[in-house]
Amino acid sequence: MESDGLSSADQKLIRESWEKVNSSPIEHGLVLFTRLFDLDPDLLPLFQYNCRKFSTPQECLSSPEFLEHIRKVMLVIDAAVTHLENLQCLEEYLANLGKKHQAVGVKVESFSAVGESLLYMLEKCHGPAFNVNVREAWTKLYSIVVKAMSCGWDVPRKVE
């Protein structure tokens, strides 16, 4: 993973802007996923708990199991923010996470809408303070995370 892609200025901007989001992760995660279902409603049927599909995004967004997924997503982002200086240590975990997402029917391409939704949520949270430098720093971090997750799709499972 190219942790050298993030300058120390980028790291500072990411840490500072994450603090506010992370003080109410579910609330902000709801903004992210509401946007995601607007951008790509076909992702909704991928979320099934006890083989039950949701008929509307609202139904999904208010289910306890989905709120738990939001909590997990925010924890992964939090782990990335915590390890900005050593993102390599998350590589294996993220590749496995990618593999799990492939297994539930997610396509790597869908992660670009997730990225847009992440930036949308950050902008909603920070308003004009979410300037071009903060946006670029987050774009870099997100692409590092997606690159690591996509190894779960790209590389055949290693025989250890």
Q: Report, in Å, the least distance between residue 94 CB and ligand HEM.
A: 8
Q: At 27, which amino acid appears?
A: E
Q: Which two tokens stand for residue 103?
A: 């297994």
| Axis crossing angle, helix 25-39 with helix 110-126, rounded to the nearest 10 | 130
> Any idea which residue has 């946006």 for tokens?
135
**C-alpha R_g of the chain:** 16
The residue among 104 and 159 lying less far from ligand HEM, judged by its C-beta, is: 104
Hey, is 47 helix, strand or coil? Answer: coil
Choice between 114 and 119, CB closer to ligand HEM:
114
* Contact status, residue 87 vs residue 3, Cβ threshold 8 Å: yes
Q: How far apart are CA 26 and CA 37, in angstroms?
A: 16
In the complex, minimum distance from the CB of residue 128 to ligand HEM, in angstroms, rounded to a whole number: 26
Q: Output the smallest distance, CB 47 to ligand HEM, in A.
A: 5
Q: CB-wise, 14 or 77, nearer to ligand HEM?
A: 77
- Looking at residue 135, its amino acid is R
Q: Which is nearer to ligand HEM, 5 or 67 (CB)?
A: 67
Q: Give me the least distance between CB of 70 and ligand HEM, in Å please.
A: 9
Closer residue to ligand HEM, CB minimum distance, 51 or 132? 51
Binding site for ligand HEM (CB under 6 A): 43, 46-47, 65, 69, 72-73, 76-77, 97, 100-101, 104, 106, 110, 114
Residue 19 buriedness (CB in 10 A; 0-12 / 13-18 / 19+): exposed
Residue 104 CB, nearest approach to ligand HEM (Å) = 4
